[in-house]
Amino acid sequence: MLLLCGISLFFHSAMAEDDTSIVLREFKLPEYNKETDDLEYIIYGDEAQNVGVIINLKKLKVDWIGKNVNDIKGTVTTPKGVYDRSTKIIKGEDEVHFRSDSMDVDGVGFDADQKKQTIHIRSKVKVVLRGNLMTDGEKEGLKKQTAKDKIKDSK
């Protein structure tokens, strides 16, 4: 944890120099919500080159965090991307992969908005949905039926 904080501190202090280009290797950059201090996402990569507010990333991975650090809502991976720290948007022209519990999405070219935790994949998109695609009403009905069945079985 101390190493993570040190890397993050170094990364942020290095980025304060807008006219300096800094290169980091095998980095981890956590981003926190300014109002709540909740961890929102973590950017990982093999290499990051900072040029002003722009960071050129290689072998990039982004974990979008849910309610806690162990709750990963989705993961984006791509060979390279460009992260704009001012807008919190990562863009890339290469292949991109999104993985979550409910779907896999692959394609080419992307815009990933870290604040909104959304990704737009521009072309050659392939989507694989997993799990049961029920409406909220259907899910509620299933819960009620399961509860009734449990009561019936216990008699």
pLDDT digits (tens, 9 = 90+) for 23-72: 889 999 999 988 989 999 999 999 999 988 999 999 999 999 988 888 89
The amino acid present at 146, given as its one-letter code, is T
Task: Tell me which H or E stretch contains 153.
Answer: helix 136-154
Other Cβ atoms less than 10 A from the Cβ of 125: the count is: 14
At residue 134, the pLDDT reads 67
Q: What whole-number distance in Å separates Cα of residue 85 and Cα of residue 136?
A: 37
Q: Which of 53, 55, 56, 48 is nearest to 23 (CA)?
A: 48
How many angstroms from the chain centroid is the CA of residue 90? 10
For domain 2-154, the CATH superfamily is: Lipopolysaccharide (LPS) transport protein A like domain (2.60.450.10)
At residue 133, the pLDDT reads 66
Q: What are the tokens at 137?
A: 């009403």
Select the more confidently predicted residue: 68 or 98: 98
| pTM for this entry | 0.69
Select the more confidently predicted residue: 7 or 147: 147
At residue 104, the pLDDT reads 94
At residue 10, the pLDDT reads 44
At residue 43, the pLDDT reads 94
At residue 15, the pLDDT reads 45
At residue 21, the pLDDT reads 78
Cβ 74 vs Cβ 100: under 8 Å: yes
Mean pLDDT of the chain: 84
Per DSSP (E only), the strands in the chain are: 21-32, 39-51, 54-65, 72-84, 89-99, 103-113, 118-129
At residue 8, the pLDDT reads 46
